[in-house]
Amino acid sequence: MSTSVKQMLAQANDDVPRVSAEDARKLVEEGALLVDVRDGTEVAASGKLAGATHVSRGMLEFRADSETPYHDANFRKDRAIIVYCASGGRSALAGKALKDLGYQRVFNLGGFKDAVEAGLSVDVI
């Protein structure tokens, strides 16, 4: 049975709760990993949220899975993870992928621009 991107996004949004910029800030202060899943060209053009780790959407599963040679040790299943992208779609799918990999505390911050407008700081690359 095939599915559509619209259906995949609906499922991802059901599985991965949205988090406000203020709640994301608090979670990061408590040790959550903030992950920017936009492409490198997007990050180069606008910077990333302060303290965020950049992992493009295409590499996320490889960085998050401790069984791969590309694993990033910042990804730990005992740590909350907050993902964001440009508008919230890729981050929803990224959050769902992390949940599928066994991460329990995964949140979708949504879009970069909205987070900046809500007062989160930016690291210029």
Per-residue pLDDT of the chain (125 residues; tens, 9 = 90+): 788 999 999 999 999 999 999 999 999 999 999 999 999 999 999 999 999 999 999 999 999 999 999 999 999 999 999 999 999 999 999 999 999 999 999 999 999 999 999 999 999 87
Is residue 59 helix, strand or coil? helix
Q: What is the CATH number of the domain that holds 115?
A: 3.40.250.10
Number of domains in the chain: 1
**What whole-number distance in Å separates Cα of residue 26 and Cα of residue 86?**
21
Q: String of b and e for 23-37 (b: at least 16 CB within 10 Å)?
A: ebbebbeeebbbbbb
- Two tokens at 26? 């608090």
Residue range(s) defining the domain that contains residue 90: 5-123
pLDDT at 2: 83
pLDDT at 121: 95
pLDDT at 51: 95
CA 9 and chain centroid, separation: 14
pLDDT at 125: 74
Q: In terms of C-beta density within 10 A (0-12 exposed, 13-18 middle, 19 or more buried), how is residue 105 classed?
A: middle
> Does the predicted model carry a pTM greater than 0.75?
yes
Instruction: Find the Cα–Cα–Cα–Cα dihedral 78, 84, 89, 93, rounded to 10°.
Output: -20
